[in-house]
């Protein structure tokens, strides 16, 4: 049996390369609307968006307000005449069209799904996240999708984790691992829910002063050594033999 029987995954920055998707979607959006100073606007948008998502995690703003306000703030700063809600809709459609999965993600999930229950726990926009996961060919590996706007709770609140585990029928939290790239949302959230946590530090961030995760990985493939027992690792790539353990 695997060390962890249930794996909860964040999406952006964990399974999918959100930075690549965001940049491409913004480029398409700004070109579509003919905005000038596109590079400056793109860089400033990323800063504004990050600050608003941090506010969401603190419970200071709702997602439906966030997605509009980020463009309101951007357009005001650059004195752009455009409708924030309309631009946001176009941007989300472009974002949803991009999968940009990290290398080896599908093969990894295929192996992990043989030994554990997999589910998504994300604060992202529901229609965007589901479409991107579907386009990346990843939805088939998950037994549940728990999205903050649908659940009515945002990471790091333990409520979203409680809802996920309740629906998945998981009672033993010692066998659950939360995996994500955000210390404030994923690691703090997992700890709030009494779960082991795995910080995906793919960019080599300085961990000093951050909440300590149970595990820290620099490559997603390292998860197999955390989740699987030696007997299962030997049979990676051969699910039929692994079922006989």
Q: Which of 121, 162, 174, 112 has the alpha carbon at shortest distance from 10?
A: 121
Catalytic residue among 10, 17, 100, 186: 10
Q: Are 133 and 139 in contact (CB under 8 A)?
A: yes
Cα–Cα distance for residue pair 20/99, rounded to 1 Å = 9
Cα–Cα distance for residue pair 41/104, rounded to 1 Å = 33
Residue position matching structure tokens 């306000």: 69
Q: Which of 111, 179, 107 has the alpha carbon at shortest distance from 136?
A: 107
Cα–Cα distance for residue pair 156/161, rounded to 1 Å = 9
Q: What is the three-class DSSP state of 121?
A: strand
Cα–Cα distance for residue pair 99/135, rounded to 1 Å = 6
Q: Are 147 and 163 in contact (CB under 8 A)?
A: no
Residue position matching structure tokens 């951050």: 210
Rg (CA), the chain: 19
Q: Are 99 and 135 in contact (CB under 8 A)?
A: yes
Cα–Cα distance for residue pair 85/44, rounded to 1 Å = 18
Respond yes or no: is residue 162 known to be catalytic: no
Which amino acids are annotated catalytic? 10
């Amino acid at each position: 049996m695997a060390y962890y029987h249930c794996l909860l995954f964040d999406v952006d920055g964990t399974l999918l390369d959100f930075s690549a998707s965001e940049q491409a979607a913004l480029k398409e959006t700004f070109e579509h609307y003919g905005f000038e100073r596109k590079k400056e606007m793109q860089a400033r948008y990323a800063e504004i968006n990050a600050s608003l998502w941090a506010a969401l995690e603190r419970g200071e703003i709702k997602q439906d307000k966030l997605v509009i306000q980020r463009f309101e703030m951007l357009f005001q700063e650059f004195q752009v005449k455009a409708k924030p809600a309309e631009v946001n809709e176009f941007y989300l459609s472009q974002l949803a069209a991009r999968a940009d999965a990290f290398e080896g993600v599908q093969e990894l999930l295929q192996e992990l799904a043989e030994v554990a229950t997999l589910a998504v726990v994300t604060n992202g926009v529901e229609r965007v996240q589901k479409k991107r996961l579907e386009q990346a060919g990843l939805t088939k590996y998950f037994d549940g999708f728990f999205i903050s706007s649908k659940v009515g709770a945002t990471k790091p609140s333990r409520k979203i984790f409680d809802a996920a585990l309740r629906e998945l029928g998981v009672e033993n939290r010692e066998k659950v691992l939360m995996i994500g790239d955000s210390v404030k949302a994923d690691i703090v959230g997992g700890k709030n829910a009494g779960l082991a946590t795995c910080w995906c530090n793919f960019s080599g961030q300085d961990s000093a002063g951050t909440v300590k995760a149970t595990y820290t990985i620099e490559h997603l493939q390292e998860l197999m050594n955390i989740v699987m027992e030696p007997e299962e690792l030997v049979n990676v790539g051969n699910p039929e033999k692994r079922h006989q353990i």
